[in-house]
């Protein structure tokens, strides 16, 4: 018997699979997560993988939470340890009272295990060797067999898994029966030989509703389709490649002319990020909605072109699926570390638009909206995703679209406008919002042509190096940035039940952990107001939110408190009032981490001096 009481929980635990990269475990593990969702129980899977094709360790974590807490929690309640390389470390991460499922074909000395966990051995390799002769089958079916074992251990509805197998191999029907057989080999072994169920159990629930299960990159790419993007130029880089892949897949289904079978889109895999952003800018200059998808190193390479697009005022949409930097950093780990490199990308005085989706639903919405913003503001727009949102499946509200919506193509002068004699100055601020009118190439035989350049120019696009027109233009660009404050997605506020002196600012993939942490912080007797930032430049409500509180915690996933720097810089706020809460080890931020960091801080702030007896 373990020295700690075995954990006993229903619909609220974390299972972690430790596998070897390239062993085919990913699809089996994903099926496990999907089955829980189909049982009506909210689930959050995370794929923790190396920058490698085969051989290095990989993990798949599944958080089960009937309460709908979908951020990373930290810790493991049930470890499915299938990788001898990481066996010792994996066992060390199990919570006291937790469970270990391992392949007991080769006996391990007792010293390998802990005495405060429940150890469950299944001779998986021996079973596979007995059942299968083909080495590849032995490997692949081992994954399904351990899922079968788990169905018995945690009371998973086996019919749901069978349905999923049938769906997965639809069209390759020959594979259905052997997979179902493997599932039952594992399940039957567990029923005959193991104490089951264990303390961690699933119960059918109805907490999923109409939610969908999708990766952020796929959602963002679908947003680009709905947002009217026709040109995509990209260069492969983790973790953004799957966004371009998804766009390709969506377009093949949704954007092919039914009669001519011709493509209403153009996708080019460029030679590098310099070329991909160049193509995006060329296409947008010519009036097509265009985008690229990249990550931090790509942003570094694109700096020169981004400055050109800012100064020459050309729309461009850049999906930045952030990963841990600097340099190559940790290419398969998540961070929010490109805020400053995007906000002020390129040499000279520049400022750029950013939006911060919290999950795939917002990645879809903002992925579409980014094209309206770019056209309206005639400037680059960064959609700031990260690996956590982009490459993991998330349970998220369904996508919605308003069919009455038309695209906002911004201020574009047409042939008719020019014929009517409207004064066209490419950099003329007609409306006082800092946004000038543009014309597409080829509009009119004698009117409306202009020269686009990265050099200084006057209001009529004529080259000049004189100071006054340069300053005039740079000031107008600032006015345009002011205009942007009311156009980008506004922050969302959630006030505590009673007035408080403390607030917290957060954004992007931190949202689910923050939402969960707030309950834990309240549990420690503190109240705190929340504001989730969704766009840059900051809306005026950010200034008032900070002004309304004594101290603001700024929670972010980078070392240098980059969002805090942006707030200090753009809102002119005393840095002392902004307390950084920083998580940057490459794993997704957890509610436990936030609650402890903020809770400890508030404990100190609210500590009363001990009374001294007189």
Partner 1 sequence: MTYLAKPKFHHPGLPKNELGYTHRDYEGTVSTLCAGCGHDSITGAIIQACFELAIEPHRVAKISGIGCSSKTPTYFLGNSHGFNSVHGRMPSVLTGANLANRDLIYLGVSGDGDSASIGLGQFAHCLRRGVNMTYIVENNGVYGLTKGQFSATADRGSKSKRGVTNTDNSIDMVAMALQLGATFVARSFSGDKEQLVPIIKAAIAHQGAAFIDVISPCVAFNNHLGSTKSFDFVREHNEAVNRLDFISTRMPIGLQQEPGTVEIVEQHDGSKLALRKLDADYEVHDRAAALGFLQHHAAKGQIVTGLLFVEKEAQDLHAHLGTVEAPLNKLEVKELCPGSAVLDQINAGLR
When the beta carbons of 96 and 228 are compared against partner 1, the nearer one is 228
List the one residue from 407, 478, 499, 600 that touches partner 1 (CB under 8 A). Answer: 407
Task: Tell me the C-alpha distance between 183 and 141, whole Å.
Answer: 8
Name the one range near partner 1 by CB under 8 A: 22-30, 104-112, 405-413, 571-579.
Answer: 405-413
* Residue among 94, 190, 220, 225 that touches partner 1 (CB under 8 A): 225
β-strand partners of 80: 17, 101
| Binder of partner 1 out of 455, 540, 544, 606 (CB under 8 A) | 455
Q: Give the residue with the Cβ less far from partner 1, 207 or 592.
A: 207
Q: Which of 152, 183, 222, 589 binds partner 1 (CB under 8 A)?
A: 222
Residue 211 binds to partner 1 (criterion: CB under 8 A):
yes
414 burial level (CB within 10 Å; 0-12, 13-18, 19+): middle
3-state SS record for 301-312: HHHHHHHHHHHH
Q: Counting contacts by CB under 8 A, is residue 507 touching partner 1?
A: no
The first and second tokens of residue 595, run together, are 């609650």
CA distances from 599 to 292, 501, 520, 526, 594 (A): 40, 14, 8, 8, 8
- Does 348 participate in binding partner 1 (rule CB under 8 A)? no
Nearer CB in complex with partner 1: 108/440: 440
For CA atoms 433, 439, 444, 450, the dihedral sign is: positive
Q: Which ranges of 103-175 would DSSP assign to H, the alpha helix?
A: 124-131, 135-153, 158-168
CB count in 10 Å sphere of residue 325: 20
Q: Which is nearer to partner 1, 282 or 586 (CB)?
A: 282
Taking the complex as a whole, how short is the minimal distance between the CB of residue 455 and partner 1, in angstroms? 7
Of residues 191 and 412, the one with the C-beta less far from partner 1: 412
According to the binding rule CB under 8 A, does residue 444 interact with partner 1? yes
Measured distance CA(531)–CA(549) in Å, rounded: 12
Which residue in the set 230, 341, 378, 587 belongs to the binding site for partner 1 (CB under 8 A)? 230
Residue of 442, 499, 523, 575 interacting with partner 1 (CB under 8 A):
442
Q: Which is nearer to partner 1, 33 or 78 (CB)?
A: 33
Verify binding: residue 446, partner 1, rule CB under 8 A: yes
Calpha distance 282→516 (Å, rounded): 44
Member of 22, 228, 425, 586 binding partner 1 (CB under 8 A) = 228
Q: Which of 145, 147, 149, 214 binds partner 1 (CB under 8 A)?
A: 214
Pick the stretch among 92-100, 239-247, 255-263, 596-604 that binds partner 1 (CB under 8 A).
255-263
347 contacts partner 1 (rule: CB under 8 A): no
Residue 399 binding partner 1, by CB under 8 A? yes
CB of 442 to partner 1, least distance (A): 5
Q: Give the number of residues written for the chain.
A: 614
Q: Per rule CB under 8 A, is residue 112 in the interface with partner 1?
A: no
CB 460 within 8 A of CB 469: no
Stretch that binds partner 1, among 139-147, 256-264, 520-528, 547-555 (CB under 8 A): 256-264
Residues near partner 1 (CB under 8 A), total: 73
DSSP per residue, 187-244: HHHHHHHS--S-SEE-------TT-EEEEHHHHHHHHHHHTT--EEEE---TTTHHHH
Does 451 help bind partner 1 (rule: CB under 8 A)?
A: yes
Residue 592 is inside which H or E element, if any? helix 591-605
User: Token pair of 240, please?
Assistant: 């953004």
Nearer CB in complex with partner 1: 262/608: 262
Pattern 11-50, partner 1, x by CB under 8 A: --------------------------x-------------
Shortest distance, CB of residue 597 to partner 1, whole angstroms? Answer: 34
In whole angstroms, the minimum distance from the beta carbon of 164 to partner 1 comes to: 12
Note whether 501 binds partner 1 by CB under 8 A. no
* Contacts with 426 (C-beta within 8 Å, 6 or more apart), sequence order: 436, 437, 438, 439, 450, 457, 459, 460, 461
- The binder of partner 1 chosen from 220, 233, 301, 413 (CB under 8 A): 233
Q: Which is nearer to partner 1, 64 or 222 (CB)?
A: 222
Q: Check binding of 203 to partner 1 (CB under 8 A).
A: no
The full DSSP string for 546-591 is HHTSSEEEEEESSSS-HHHHHHHHHHT--GGGEEEEE--SSSPPBH
Q: Is 460 in the site for partner 1 (CB under 8 A)?
A: no
Among 454, 470, 522, 573, binds partner 1 (CB under 8 A): 454
Site for partner 1, residues 264 to 293, rule: CB under 8 A: 264-268, 270-272, 274-288, 290
* Closer CB to partner 1, 320 or 439, in the complex: 439
Q: Which of 12, 116, 304, 472 binds partner 1 (CB under 8 A)?
A: 304
Rounded to the nearest angstrom, the gap between the alpha carbon of residue 391 and the centroid of all alpha carbons in its chain is 7
What 3-state class would DSSP assign to 50?
coil
* 213 makes contact with partner 1 (CB under 8 A): yes
Footprint (CB under 8 A) of partner 1, residues 145-164: none
Annotate 466-519 with DSSP letters as a single string.
-HHHHHHHHHHHHHHHHHHHTTSPPPEEE--SS--SEEEEEEGGGHHHHHHHHH
Would you give the binding string for partner 1 spanning residues 305-344, x where CB under 8 A is met?
x--x------------------------------------
Cβ contact 64:12 at 8 Å:
yes
577 vs 49: CA distance, rounded Å: 38
Query: Does residue 220 contact residue 364 with C-beta atoms inside 8 Å?
Result: yes
For residue 56 the two structure tokens come to 């290095």
Is 470 a binder of partner 1 (CB under 8 A)?
A: no
Q: Are 427 and 473 in contact (CB under 8 A)?
A: yes
206 lies in the binding site for partner 1 (CB under 8 A)? no
The reply on whether position 204 binds partner 1 by CB under 8 A is no
């Amino acid at each position: 018997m373990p020295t700690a009481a075995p954990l006993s929980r229903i619909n609220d635990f974390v299972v972690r699979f430790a596998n070897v990269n390239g062993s085919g475990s990913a699809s089996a593990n994903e099926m496990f997560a999907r089955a829980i969702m189909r049982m009506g129980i909210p689930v959050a899977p995370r794929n923790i993988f190396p920058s490698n094709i085969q051989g290095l360790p990989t993990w798949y974590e599944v958080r089960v939470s009937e309460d709908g807490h979908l951020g990373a929690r930290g810790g493991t309640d049930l470890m499915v340890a299938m990788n001898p390389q990481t066996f010792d470390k994996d066992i060390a991460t199990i919570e006291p009272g937790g469970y270990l499922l391992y392949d007991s074909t080769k006996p391990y000395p007792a010293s390998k295990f802990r005495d405060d966990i429940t150890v469950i051995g299944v001779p998986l390799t021996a079973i596979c060797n007995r059942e299968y002769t083909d080495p590849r089958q032995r490997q692949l079916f081992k994954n399904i067999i351990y899922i079968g074992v788990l169905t018995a251990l945690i009371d998973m509805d086996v019919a749901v898994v069978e349905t999923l197998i049938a769906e997965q191999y639809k069209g390759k029907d020959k594979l259905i029966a052997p997979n179902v057989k493997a599932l039952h080999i594992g399940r039957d072994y567990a029923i005959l030989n193991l104490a089951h169920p264990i303390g961690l159990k699933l119960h059918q629930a109805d907490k999923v509703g109409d939610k969908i299960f999708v990766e952020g990159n796929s959602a963002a790419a679908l947003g680009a389709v709905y947002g009217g993007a026709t040109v995509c130029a990209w260069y492969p880089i983790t973790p953004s490649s799957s966004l371009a892949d998804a766009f390709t897949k969506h377009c093949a289904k949704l954007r092919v002319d039914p009669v001519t079978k011709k493509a209403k889109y153009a996708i080019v895999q460029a030679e590098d990020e310099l070329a991909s952003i160049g193509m995006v800018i060329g296409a947008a200059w010519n009036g097509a909605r265009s985008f690229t998808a990249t990550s931090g190193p790509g942003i570094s390479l694109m700096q020169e072109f981004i400055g050109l697009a800012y100064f020459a005022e050309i729309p461009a949409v850049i999906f930045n699926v952030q990963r841990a930097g600097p340099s190559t950093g940790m290419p398969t780990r998540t961070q929010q570390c490109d805020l400053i490199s995007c906000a002020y990308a390129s040499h000279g005085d520049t400022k750029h638009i950013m939006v911060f989706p919290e999950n795939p639903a917002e990645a879809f919405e903002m992925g579409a909206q980014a094209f309206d913003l770019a056209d309206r503001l005639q400037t680059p727009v960064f959609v700031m995703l990260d690996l956590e949102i982009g490459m993991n499946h998330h349970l998220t509200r369904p996508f919605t679209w308003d069919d009455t919506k038309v695209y906002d193509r911004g201020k574009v002068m047409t042939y008719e406008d020019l014929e009517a004699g409207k004064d066209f100055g490419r950099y003329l601020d007609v409306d006082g919002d800092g946004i000038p009118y543009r014309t597409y190439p080829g509009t009119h035989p004698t009117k409306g042509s202009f020269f686009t350049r990265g050099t200084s120019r006057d209001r009529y696009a004529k080259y000049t190096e004189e100071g006054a027109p340069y300053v005039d233009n740079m000031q107008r660009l600032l006015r345009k940035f002011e205009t942007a404050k009311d156009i980008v997605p506004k922050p969302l506020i959630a006030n505590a039940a009673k007035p408080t002196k403390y607030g917290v600012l957060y954004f992007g993939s931190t949202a689910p952990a923050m939402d969960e942490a707030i309950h834990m912080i309240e549990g420690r007797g503190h109240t705190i107001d929340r504001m989730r930032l969704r766009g840059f430049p900051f809306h005026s409500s950010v200034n008032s939110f900070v002004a309304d509180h004594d101290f603001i915690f700024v929670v972010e996933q980078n070392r240098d408190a980059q969002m805090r720097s942006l707030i200090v810089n753009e809102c002119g706020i005393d840095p002392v009032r902004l307390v950084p809460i920083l998580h940057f080890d490459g794993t997704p931020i957890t509610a436990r981490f936030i609650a402890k960091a903020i809770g400890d801080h508030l404990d100190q702030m609210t500590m009363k001096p001990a009374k001294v007896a007189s």
